[in-house]
Amino acid sequence: MAKERLVLASQSPRRRELLKEAGLVFEVIEPDAGAECGICSRETPPEMAARLGFQKAANVAGKIDHGYVIGCDTIAECMGNILGKPTDRTHARWMLQLLRGRVHAVYSGLCIWHRPSGRHSVRVAVSKLKMDPIEDETLEKYLDTEAWVGKSGAFGFQDGPPWLQLLEGSASNVVGLPMELLQSTLAEWDLSLEMFRDSSSSRG
């Protein structure tokens, strides 16, 4: 069994997969609907990502008696536009047209919250990517796959589209949960990922 209780405050299947790939044992408790408010005036993209990650963690931390809660929110930004999850195909097309041929940034606000102490930490990871100047036909074929559904910026980096390159930063951050930042934040608390792995199984 895992040595410590770990709770993921998210409904994202990609965040769950990243934690599973790291060999962690965790529970999923989704934040309440409306637990996060939208864009605040004069809020920068990293400030927004940090606030949303904090709100998710705080909401779920209030539901448990003990353990460590991970709250995370990821947004893309290009040309001053904050790109969340597209509402429909037309919205996704607009996002991809904005992104193509340009460098853009992906921010993840990561919050770790301990119960019952109430100790918490919020940090932000940033990655930079560039999308090739793909033609309309390629863009429409991608839209046909619906791989953009539920993904910030209307793309899934983990799907491996050949027209998207990571220039700097963490790949896991682009997918939705910066694992390197999670590990370094835990280290600041004198904790490690090993605490949340199954102690009955070996891992190299």
Which pLDDT does position 1 carry in this prediction?
A: 57
| Residues classed as catalytic | 73
User: What six digits make up the tokens of 8?
Assistant: 């993921």
Report the alpha-carbon distance of residue 35 to residue 9 in Å, rounded: 11
Going residue by residue through the chain, which has 204 residues, state the pLDDT in tens, using 9 for 90 and above. 567 899 999 989 999 999 999 999 999 999 998 765 555 557 899 999 999 999 999 999 999 999 999 999 999 999 989 988 899 999 999 999 999 999 999 999 999 999 999 999 999 999 999 999 999 999 999 999 999 998 888 988 888 889 999 999 999 999 999 999 999 999 999 999 999 998 765 444
Strands (E), the chain: 6-8, 27-28, 67-78, 81-83, 103-115, 120-131, 164-168
Which DSSP letter does residue 119 get?
A: -
Dump pLDDT digits (tens) for 8-32. Answer: 999 899 999 999 999 999 999 999 9
Which pLDDT does position 19 carry in this prediction?
A: 97
Class (C level, CATH) for 6-196 = alpha beta
User: What six digits make up the tokens of 28?
Assistant: 């999923």
